[in-house]
Amino acid sequence: MNKADIAVEKFLEGFTCSQAVFSTYCEELGFKKEDALKIGCAFGGGMGSLGHVCGAVTGAFMLIGLKYGNTDSKDKEAKVTTYKKVRDFAEKFKEKNGTIICNELLKCDISTPEGRKYAEENNLFRTVCPKFVKDAAEIIEQMLNE
């Protein structure tokens, strides 16, 4: 089983999309899986189920930050590199899915009771979201190995 499949499996076990992507790759970047799961939890469902940026995407963004982010406020080059990698990731994800916005991906507003009910009744989290997790995992894996 490859890492993208592991991320999908974690998602289907009940972890958020963000947790699934972030925790699958974090250890190779020196970050503890348990901490990744805790942090990643808040970003699921497009930022705490607000339907904003897809959690699988934010999980990947956090990994980009782990690999390229700055730890010195004067290190502008690391910041520029990190932002470029984030934009590159977002473009690749959009090429596959049209958008990085959770509500647009699901075609409903999961921040409302009606939208959440629609998503649950139509099993979107189990039938649609796994593709987004897999796409994000495959893209970030390629980027981390560059």
Model pTM score: 0.96
> What's the pLDDT band for 25 if we cut at 50, 70, 90?
very high
Which distant-in-sequence residues (6+ apart) come within 8 Å of 39 by Cβ? 22, 62
User: What percent of the chain has a predicted confidence (pLDDT) above 90?
Assistant: 99
Tokens of 3: 């890492």
For residues 133 and 9, give the distance between their C-alpha atoms in angstroms, rounded to a whole number.
10
Residue 2 to residue 134: CA distance in whole angstroms = 10
Q: Residue 125: CB partners within 8 Å, gap ≥ 6?
A: 119
The domain locations on the chain are: 3-144
